[in-house]
Amino acid sequence: MHTVVLTKGVPDFREGQVAFDEDGHLERGATPTVMNPNDKHALRAALQTKVRNGGHVSLMSMGPPGFKEVLREGMESVYADDAYLVSDRAFAAADTWATSIALTTAIERLDEHVAEDGVDMVFAGFKTADGETGHTGPQTCWGLDWPILTHVVSLDIDEEAGRVRAKRLVEGDIEEIETVEAPLPCFVVADPEFEPTYRKAAHRLTHKDLREETRERAENHEEHVTVWDHEELNLDPDYVGLDGSPTIVSSVDPIPRAPAERDATMVDPEDGEAMRELVEEMAPLAGGE
């Protein structure tokens, strides 16, 4: 079993981390890069696979060399065995299409030349926090010509039979869950509702072993990262990066400023009379009026 988990470094949009300039544009240099928050669901699904079915997990990302930090974080959470960074100036400013071409090529290379018995599964989160397109995963899968399972909330793999059975949200709706099957190899997009289950003591013991093993590996994570550029992947620069991107960004709207401050009335909780007035004032709201 060899699985690949796709991850991406995105600006840390959490309050206190993200920086905007005066015009409301993101200040990329002043905002730290973190692992795309939605990728943790893919990592959890891949980890469950590694714990329950064993095998090798490779983390893969496309981005500048600084993404190695993101790979370390990913490596720690999925107990990855190694990591591949698709990184080259020629890949810069790629849209989702050009990104998918590069990732497809990298996965194929892993499948044909690195993984002993080929790659069995690829996991991806369902969208990134910066682009929010949700394109890259499905497009990469289209390039591989594999079946895709999206909005997956639980997963069971029968390696011998070469089949995957999954529960997925129909139309992304938690109220409607269907069970589907696919042959291996296949592409899995984990939903934020994905819950790994470890109901066997043996699974949990393996989990503990892997955590211990990974701790040492993550400390020297650089030794386990392979960087692939366009030459390594035998990719024509005309088909990747900005030149290979059909998307034309016509303009970027700055994020509007927050509306003016609201009026605030301060009430001392010790002041019984004022609190009583406050409760009376708020009582109609509690009734939903």
Partner 1 sequence: MSETIDDATGASDEYEQYEAVVVGCGPGGAAAAAALADEGVETLVLERGVDAGSKNVSGGLIYAEESAPYTIDGLFPGFREAATERPVTEYQLHNVAGSQVKSFDITDLHEHDTEWSDAVLRRKMDSWLAERVHERTRETGGGLLTEVKVTGLLREEGEIVGVTCEELDPIRAELVVAADGVNSELARDAGLMDWEEPEEWFQGVKAVVDLPDGAIQERFGVGDGEGAAHLFSGDLFDGVRGGGFVYTNEDSLSIGSVFHLDSVATELAEPHELLDALLTHPFLGQWLDDAEYAEREYSAKLVPDSKKAALRSPHQGRLVVVGDAAGQMQAQGPIIKGMNHAVTAGGLAAEAYAQAKARGDTSRAGEFYERKLRDEGVMEKLRPRRYEVASALGEPEPVANLADAVVDSAVGRFGVRLLGDRLERLYSSPALSMMVPDTRTPYVTLPTVIAEELGAPVDETNDVEPPELADRIGDLTYDTDVGNPHIELLDDSAAASGTAVTACPVSAEGFGGGCYRRETVASNGEREEVVSLDTQPCIECGTCAVVAETDWEHPRGGKGVEFEEG
Contacts with partner 1, residue ranges (CB under 8 A): 154-156, 158, 165, 167, 179, 199-202, 204-205, 208-209
In the structure, how many helices (H) and strands (E) does the chain have?
A: 6, 11
Cα separation, 188 vs 169, in Å, equals: 13
Q: Could you tell me the smallest distance in angstroms from the CB atom of residue 78 to partner 1?
A: 21
Q: Output 158 or 236, the one with its CB closest to partner 1.
A: 158
Q: Which of 161, 136, 110, 116 is nearest to 42 (CA)?
A: 136
Cα separation, 226 vs 235, in Å, equals: 17
- What letter would DSSP give residue 26? B
* CA dihedral angle for residue 215, residue 13, residue 67, residue 149, rounded to 10 degrees: 80
- Cis before residue 192, ω within 30 degrees of 0? no
Q: Could you tell me the smallest distance in angstroms from the CB atom of residue 274 to partner 1?
A: 24
Residue type, 137: G
Q: Output 209 or 243, the one with its CB closest to partner 1.
A: 209
Q: Output 201 or 260, the one with its CB closest to partner 1.
A: 201
Q: Could you tell me the smallest distance in angstroms from the CB atom of residue 211 to partner 1?
A: 12
Q: Could you tell me the smallest distance in angstroms from the CB atom of residue 38 to partner 1?
A: 23
Q: Output 202 or 267, the one with its CB closest to partner 1.
A: 202
Q: Output 89 or 208, the one with its CB closest to partner 1.
A: 208
**SS3 string of 217-286?**
HHHCHHHHEEEECCCCCCCCHHHCCCCCCCCCCCCCCCCCCCCCCCCCCCCCCCCHHHHHHHHHHHHHHH
Q: Output 59 or 153, the one with its CB closest to partner 1.
A: 153
Cα separation, 179 vs 267, in Å, equals: 54
Q: Could you tell me the smallest distance in angstroms from the CB atom of residue 161 to partner 1?
A: 9
List of residues 6+ apart from 234 with CB closer than 8 A: 105
- What letter would DSSP give residue 91? G
Q: Could you tell me the smallest distance in angstroms from the CB atom of residue 208 to partner 1?
A: 7
Q: Output 95 or 191, the one with its CB closest to partner 1.
A: 191
Residue by residue, DSSP assigns 93-145 as T--HHHHHHHHHHHHHHIIIIISTT---EEEE-S--TTT----HHHHHHHHHT
Q: Could you tell me the smallest distance in angstroms from the CB atom of residue 147 to partner 1?
A: 18
